[in-house]
Amino acid sequence: MTVSRRDFIKHCAAAAAVTSLPLGLSRSTEAANAAPLTATALDASLEWGKAPCRFCGTGCGVMVGVKDGKVVSVAGDELNPVNKGLLCIKGYSLPGILYGEDRLTTPQIRNNGKLKDATWDEALDLVANKFKESVDQHGPKSVAMYGSGQWTITDGYAALKWFKGGIGSNNVEANARLCMASAVTGFITTFGADEPMGCYDDFEKADAFVLWGNNMAEMHPVLFSRLLERRRKASWVKIHDMATRRTPTTEWADVHYSMEPQSDLAIANAIARIIINTGRYDKKFINEHTVFKSGKENIGYGLEDNFNFKDAPKAMTFAEYSKYVQKYTPAHVEEISGIPAAKIKQLAEVYADKFTKVVSLWCMGMNQHNRGTWINNLVYNLHLLTGKICAPGNNPLSLTGQPSACGTVREVGTLAHRLPSDMVVMKPRHREIAANIWGVPISNINPKPGYNTVEMFRAFDRGDIKVMWTQTTNPMVSMPNLIRYREGAQKDGRFLVVSEIYPTPTTEVADVVLPAAMWVEREGMFGNTERRTQQWNKLVDPPGEAKSDAWQTIEVAKRMGYADLFKYGEQTYERELFEEYRQFTLGTGHDLGTYDQYIAARGLRWPVVDGKETPWRYTSKYDPYVTKGKKIEFYSNKKTGGKAVVWARPYEPAPEVPDNEFPFWLCTGRVLEHWHTGSMTRRVPHLHRAVPEAYVEMNAKDAADNGIQDGEKVRVKSRRGELELKVVLNGKGKPRRGSVFVPFFDEGKLINEVTLDSYCPISKEPDYKKCAVKIEKLKAI
């Protein structure tokens, strides 16, 4: 029995792998012939269901195998066009993250400094009372909800509706503010609407890929294999890797550009200058589809409390814009960036050459940037000047880190100024639409935006916010300048509610902890990078008394007297919430399909019109929203008559740059093995063992100059905090001289006590990639 079962499983595994080989390759073996096209039939003794992966924004399709009420198997879903049957190494941790030994299973209330088990009724009543008391005594601005790009679509929608339609507070934010806000403001200022025009299908059509500070091989491995596969089939295809350190991506790139932090602003302008000065801009496209604008400059860094900024766009002509970029000569930009002028010209060719189809890709390198909105604008400029946009294989594509940063935070609009479907609280018409769908008076919706994330935690520290609820996120690891915010959360008169699946540094400072059901323990939906919305069904029971975030929010809202807003069935609330939310999207260009359509499909890319998805937007060939007779139209940009904006944005230095006292740049980021703050992946023993703790990557020459050896412990110190870490000189990443890299997943070594809480004044997204530190050798004991 054992032997045959073992062989059978091996056969299934091999067959699944063979069916996931790139299409077009011959599948010769018996295994392949015997393999059915759906993984569901691979092992009939298990029950199978489809779901998007719980981890990153790629949105790979997973077939989940259940035995005796437990998830025991995962297979890449070959019917899902995102990953065509493949998963990355994180994918195989999916069963593991559900079954960590210390899963939270009961509500807990802090009593005399200790968290003690409580019933759901006790916990929910307490939370509802605290919210009510605070709103009654200090007004709606004194409460806040801080959610996540890992929230399902309905989790986010329930929270938004309760806060904005019920309480009348706009203090709803999500951790996507820390990763995607600059992408959003970049899209909105350039195109008038959020999210990309292109999709992953661009990868199989492009001639060149330019990675702007993006370690795709580790952070988006499944997509990176699609790039490599494209290059294998088309030998002329080149991958350009621009970054502040060498990474596994560099190993497989054709050209590496080692750049100084912050210099991407200058590099993009230099490329624009070359395109213009060599006459290789697309005059017709520019005339028909673009306008030129400039905005305020020297805009600050958001370092002071209650920082405020409003841009003042001014129209400019193409001639004025051309003049504006003239100062970015390759020689001048070589000085700023450290990239030789000849190489800058080489990179410019990729964009300037009429026959090269180019896809630009980026993620946190450009978004977690004190000028995040600007650098997004500047990369769009390159595609707009050359007309290389809205065509298969020719597009900018902003990648996302979290599984539903797009679907939940950006589309539902769980941000301080937003309403669903790209609407904002500031506009009376938008408030009216929302109020009608919610059946509440328009006066319920506050026209003034709430606090953005950093300001929200500052307000919690000051006491302007008194009660805060966090769901599916771990701010006491992920906030920059962390010491201030952790101390703030523990001050007298603050009340923190945390919905979580495992104990974290955030639950440690919580007054109430609510156990959450996750991923296939409940029904849900995520929306990925390429506008693809995916649905899954509940496949196993959650442990103990854990419940979904949406359920928890609705129960508290009801106890506060907002039952009318949530008249849904106990079994059907997921579907009902979604169908209601969908009303916001119809006729807007963000149209979503029906719940049943998502049950049937392996995801659909919006706008979904008449049941049909839209792979490429703004082009008449694919997008039904383009006005008849037009080929391309940026129809969401009403202000400009359907045109995109080419922005004149300068290079400005970072707020804190290395000096004699703090001579190194510090950049933070993720590692392949861990998901974000590690609260899930550190519970998976093999992942924890593989990368048990944070470390600091240094350039070998810098280490030698400072007499530092590989493996030695050093102190990484900034003006705000310090941390002892082991030095890694020959790891996967090798920073350029003058900079160091530290991953942020380790709650035992909190690098965010060292980072700076500066942010992009337009997007309010913090810059986790740049501050100044010194590296001190520890004295031998």
Partner 1 sequence: MQADPPRLESVKQNIEQQIGAEIAEVVENFLVVVLETDDDRQMKERFDAIVNLPGVISANLAYYNTEDLAKNS
* Residues designated catalytic: 90, 179-180, 364, 401-402
Torsion of CA 409, 410, 411, 415, to 10 degrees: 60
Q: 618 with 626: CB under 8 angstroms?
A: yes
**Residues in contact with partner 1 by the rule CB under 8 A:** 1-2, 5-6, 9-10, 12-14, 16-22, 25-29, 31-32, 39, 42-43, 65, 67, 72-76, 85-89, 91-92, 95-96, 217, 221-222, 224-225, 228-229, 232, 252, 684-687, 689-690
Q: Select from 74, 188, 222, 773 the one that contacts ligand SF4 (CB under 6 A).
A: 222
- From the list partner 1, ligand SF4, none, which binds 49 (C-beta under 5 to 8 Å, kind-based)? none
Q: Where are the beta strands (DSSP E) in 353-475?
A: 358-362, 395-398, 418-419, 423-424, 467-471
**By the rule CB under 6 A, 91 interacts with ligand SF4:** yes
In the complex, the smallest distance separating the C-beta of residue 351 from partner 1, rounded to whole angstroms, is 27
- With respect to ligand SF4, which residue has the nearer C-beta, 343 or 670? 670
The answer, yes or no, to whether the previous bond of 607 is cis (omega within 30 of 0) is yes
Q: Which of 107, 221, 261, 413 binds ligand SF4 (CB under 6 A)?
A: 221
Interacting partner of 491 out of partner 1, ligand SF4, none (Cβ under 5 to 8 A depending on kind): none
Which partner from the list partner 1, ligand SF4, none does 56 bind, CB cut-off 5 to 8 Å by kind? Answer: ligand SF4
Contact 699, 736 (CB under 8 A): yes
Whole-angstrom distance, CA of residue 680 vs CA of residue 238: 36
In the complex with ligand SF4, the residue whose CB is nearer, 82 or 344, is 82
Q: Taking the mean position of all CA atoms in its chain, how far away is CA 754?
A: 22
Do 195 and 410 touch, CB atoms closer than 8 A? yes
The smaller minimum CB distance to partner 1, of residues 24 and 629, is found at 24
Nearest to 193 by CA among 754, 658, 617: 617
Contact partner at residue 55 from partner 1, ligand SF4, none, CB < 5 to 8 Å by partner kind: ligand SF4
Residue closer to ligand SF4, measured from CB, 125 or 204: 204
Output 257 or 519, the one with its CB closest to ligand SF4: 519
At 527, give phi and psi (nearest 5°).
-125, 125
Q: How far apart are CA 467 and CA 458, in angstroms?
A: 13
Residue number with CB closer to ligand SF4 (225 or 269): 225
Q: Interface with ligand SF4 by CB under 6 A: which range of 204-212, 218-226, 321-329, 636-644?
A: 218-226
- Supply the DSSP symbol for 53: -
Q: What is the spatial distance between Cα 117 and Cα 225, in angstroms, rounded to a whole number? A: 47
Shortest spacing between CB 503 and partner 1, in angstroms: 22
Task: State the nearest-atom distance from the C-beta of 346 to partner 1, in Å.
Answer: 24
- Residues paired with residue 160 on neighbouring β-strands, in sequence order: none
Residue 65 or 295 with smaller CB distance to partner 1: 65
Q: Which does 716 bind (CB under 5 to 8 A by kind): ligand SF4, partner 1, none?
A: none
Taking the C-alpha atoms of residue 629 and residue 108, their distance in angstroms, rounded to an integer, is: 61
- Return d(Cα 632, Cα 393) in angstroms, integer: 16
| Residue 58 contact partner, candidates partner 1, ligand SF4, none, CB within 5 to 8 A by sort of partner | ligand SF4
Q: At what angle do helices 330-337 and 341-352 cross, to 10 degrees?
A: 110
Q: Are strands 314-316 and 290-294 parallel, antiparallel or unpaired?
A: antiparallel
Q: Which of 653, 182, 179 is nearest to 374 (CA)?
A: 182
The one-letter code for the residue type at 673 is E
The least CB distance from residue 36 to partner 1, in Å, is 13
- Using the contact rule CB under 6 A, the part of the chain among 49-57, 114-122, 279-287, 300-308 near ligand SF4 is 49-57
Q: How far is the CB of 2 from partner 1 (least distance, A)?
A: 4
Structure tokens at 467: 């009660």
Q: How far is the CB of 56 from ligand SF4 (least distance, A)?
A: 3
Least distance in angstroms from the C-beta of 175 to ligand SF4: 17
Structure tokens at 749: 């070594």
Decide: is 90 part of the binding site for ligand SF4 (CB under 6 A): yes
26 binds, options ligand SF4, partner 1, none, Cβ within 5 to 8 A by partner type: partner 1
Task: Pick left, alpha or beta for residue 593 (phi over 0 → left; psi -120 to 50 → alpha; otherwise beta).
Answer: beta
Choice between 14 and 426, CB closer to partner 1: 14
How far, in Å, CA of 260 to CA of 174, rounded? 30
Contact 129, 384 (CB under 8 A): no
DSSP states of 158-184 as a string?
Answer: HHHIIIIIII----EEEGGGGTTHHHH
Shortest distance, CB of residue 678 to ligand SF4, whole angstroms? Answer: 14
Answer with the entry of ligand SF4, partner 1, none that 421 interacts with (C-beta below 5 to 8 A by kind): none
* Gap between the Cα atoms of 156 and 149, Å rounded: 9
* 53 interface partner picked from ligand SF4, partner 1, none, CB below 5 to 8 A per type: ligand SF4
Opening angle at CA 181, ends 531 and 552, nearest 5: 75
**How many residues bind to ligand SF4 according to rule CB under 6 A?**
14
Q: Which does 307 bind (CB under 5 to 8 A by kind): ligand SF4, partner 1, none?
A: none
50-89: which residues touch ligand SF4 (CB under 6 A)?
A: 53, 55-56, 58-60, 83, 87-88
Rule CB under 6 A: is residue 200 a binding residue for ligand SF4? Answer: no
Minimum Å gap between C-beta 61 and partner 1 is 12
- Residue 74 near which of partner 1, ligand SF4, none (CB within 5-8 Å, type-dependent): partner 1
Minimum distance, C-beta of residue 107 to partner 1, in the bound complex (Å): 30
Nearer to partner 1 by Cβ, of 82 and 274: the residue is 82
Burial string for 488-514 (b: 16+ CB within 10 Å, else e) reads bbeeeebbbbbbbbbbbbbbebbbbbb
**Residue 75 beta carbon to partner 1: minimum distance, rounded to whole angstroms:** 4
Residue 178's alpha-carbon distances to 148, 185, 551, 662, 749, in angstroms, are 10, 13, 25, 25, 20
Which residues contact ligand SF4 by CB under 6 A? 53, 55-56, 58-60, 83, 87-88, 90-91, 220-222
